[in-house]
């Protein structure tokens, strides 16, 4: 349990608005998807990327040395103890500190690094990979499949939990490039800078693989058939938890909602992860403060962890706009990904689009149009997926129209719109080739691990 602390202050106007807003959980829809929309396909999907063995992860450690560092390379740890907050260092995640649920490729490594540089251990800095233990019970299918504990959903709801989420499109763009760079660095360094048809063909294969998993895995397919409603998901858990297995190869490809629904506070990467402490809009449709102002991530960390925490972004594949690097943004609509696969991707990750206000329309090839938030409806790829878009948009229509949160959703519509197209939205503004510098981002310069305290 967290110690009682004064809540973060909102403006008087926000406080009045919040107090007058009703907060109730979304009612589950009584309508089910017709059988056949999502086939329960049990298939052995090949590994998308070679998974590093435990011996490989420890290869950089010298026997008998750095035993306190866990499995991460020694050079990644925060050794400047002058920056540590001794008060934070003495506290434990899940006891005196909130619990961080690390959703892959949604900014989690940066969150862990911000806390780690101040001397605190959360997320993967406090997992089996670093000789630690997650402070909650893990969901059985992930344990059975050998998935990393830091990417495993909690078995129960965490009132003191928080996480970060990201646009499903840019999340998978990052996952693809991260995987190539992490496990085949030479290949990443040889990939063409910017848009490339060859890269898009590989990306299309990757998207087909993860889409088949998100819609065909027995447990996730059951969730879809039950509209990802709380009651429906509970029924699916009762049916599939005893036997289902989420393999390590796909632990990064689970819809974010499966993990984020288990925590109280959700921070969108695009609008709530900022360089300065401040506020942002709560876009989580299932939150009691949906559409209202809430503290941004940095304000939250400084309040509940340490005032010494500062913003840290790291050097990931999706960052450093000043460096030249491969881009797969244009692959969504250049014809590389067929309409069926794109529709399946939208369907499989529909709870992420719905719950956190992300736009279903895929990124556009035209960077200028995308930056302005425009949609080229005449683009052949956009026309080709119009039917799949309608299918996904109607997926939750019945539950939305009858939800007791209808008034709250109407109030928050403007906030959600700003969330989708705001100036901080990396989905709209990232990787415009004209703004890149002259240097090339190499795999060796990418940070794959968080900065954990020693």
Percent of the chain topping pLDDT 70: 66
Percent of the chain topping pLDDT 90: 56
pLDDT: which is higher, 77 or 14:
77
d(CA 290, CA 298): 19
**Is the confidence at residue 382, as pLDDT, over 80?**
no
Rounded average pLDDT over 196-220: 97
| Predicted local distance difference test score (pLDDT) of residue 197 | 95
Tell me the per-residue pLDDT of 224-249, one tens digit each, with 9 for 90 and over.
Answer: 999 999 999 999 999 999 999 999 99
pLDDT: which is higher, 425 or 139:
139
| Predicted local distance difference test score (pLDDT) of residue 74 | 85
Rounded average pLDDT over 305-311: 96
**Is the confidence at residue 36, as pLDDT, over 90?**
no
Contacts 24+ apart (CB under 8 A), 387-394: 387/339, 387/343, 388/339, 388/340, 388/342, 388/343, 388/344, 388/346, 388/347, 389/343, 389/346, 389/360, 389/361, 391/37, 391/343, 391/347, 392/343, 392/346, 392/347, 392/350, 392/353, 392/360, 393/360
pLDDT: which is higher, 410 or 335:
335
Tell me the per-residue pLDDT of 73-126, one tens digit each, with 9 for 90 and over.
Answer: 888 898 889 999 999 999 999 999 999 999 999 999 999 999 999 999 999 999
Q: How many Cα atoms within 13 Å fall on the side-chain side of residue 382?
A: 14
Rounded average pLDDT over 395-407: 45
Say what the pTM is.
0.75
Q: How far is CA 43 from CA 206, 210, 212, 213, 218, in A?
A: 16, 12, 9, 9, 10
Residues pairing with 453 in the sheet: 78
Reported confidence tier of residue 412, pLDDT bands at 50, 70, 90: very low
**Is the confidence at residue 405, as pLDDT, over 70?**
no
Rounded average pLDDT over 256-284: 95
Rounded average pLDDT over 158-170: 96
pLDDT: which is higher, 367 or 250:
250
3-state secondary structure 133-181: CCCCCECHHHHHHCCCHHHCCECCCEEEEEEEECCHHHHHHHHHHHHHH
């Amino acid at each position: 349990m967290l110690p009682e602390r004064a809540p973060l202050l909102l403006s008087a106007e926000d406080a009045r608005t919040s107090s007058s807003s009703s907060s109730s959980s979304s009612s589950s829809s009584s309508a089910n998807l017709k059988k056949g929309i999502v086939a329960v396909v049990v298939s052995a999907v090949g590994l998308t990327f070679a998974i590093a063995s435990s011996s490989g992860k420890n290869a950089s450690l010298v026997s008998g040395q750095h035993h306190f560092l866990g499995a991460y390379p020694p050079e990644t740890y925060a050794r400047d103890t002058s920056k540590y907050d001794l008060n934070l260092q003495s506290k434990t995640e899940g006891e005196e500190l909130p619990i961080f649920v690390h959703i892959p490729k949604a900014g989690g490594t940066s969150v862990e690094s911000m806390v780690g540089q101040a001397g605190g251990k959360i997320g993967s800095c406090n997992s089996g990979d670093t000789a630690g233990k997650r402070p909650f019970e893990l969901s059985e299918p992930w344990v059975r499949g050998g998935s990393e504990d830091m990417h495993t959903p909690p078995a129960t709801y965490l009132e003191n939990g928080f996480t970060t989420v990201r646009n499903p499109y840019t999340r998978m763009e990052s996952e693809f490039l991260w995987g190539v760079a992490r496990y085949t660095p030479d290949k990443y360094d040889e990939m063409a800078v910017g848009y490339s048809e060859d890269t898009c063909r590989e990306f299309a294969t990757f998207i087909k693989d993860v889409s088949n998993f998100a819609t065909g895995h027995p447990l996730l397919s059951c969730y879809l058939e039950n509209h990802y409603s709380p009651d429906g998901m509970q029924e699916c858990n009762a049916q599939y938890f005893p036997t289902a297995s989420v393999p390590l190869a796909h632990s990064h490809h689970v819809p974010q909602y499966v993990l984020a629904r288990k925590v109280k506070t959700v921070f969108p990467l695009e609008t709530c992860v900022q360089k300065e402490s401040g506020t942002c809009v709560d876009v989580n449709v299932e939150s009691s403060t949906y559409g209202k102002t809430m503290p941004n991530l940095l304000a939250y960390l400084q309040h509940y962890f340490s005032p010494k925490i500062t913003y840290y972004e790291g050097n990931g594949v999706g960052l450093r706009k000043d460096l030249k690097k491969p881009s797969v943004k244009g692959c969504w609509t250049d014809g590389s990904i067929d309409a069926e696969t794109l529709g399946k991707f939208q369907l499989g990750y529909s709870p992420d689009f719905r719950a956190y206000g992300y736009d279903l329309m895929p990124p556009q090839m035209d960077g200028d149009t995308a930056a302005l938030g425009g949609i080229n409806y005449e683009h052949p790829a956009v026309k080709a997926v119009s039917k799949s878009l309608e299918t996904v948009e109607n997926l939750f229509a019945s539950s939305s129209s009858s939800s007791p949160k209808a008034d709250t959703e109407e109030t928050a519509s403007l906030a959600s719109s700003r969330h989708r197209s705001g100036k901080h939205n990396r989905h709209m503004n990232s990787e415009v080739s004209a703004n890149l510098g002259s240097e090339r981002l190499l795999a060796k310069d990418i940070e794959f691990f968080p900065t954990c305290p020693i």
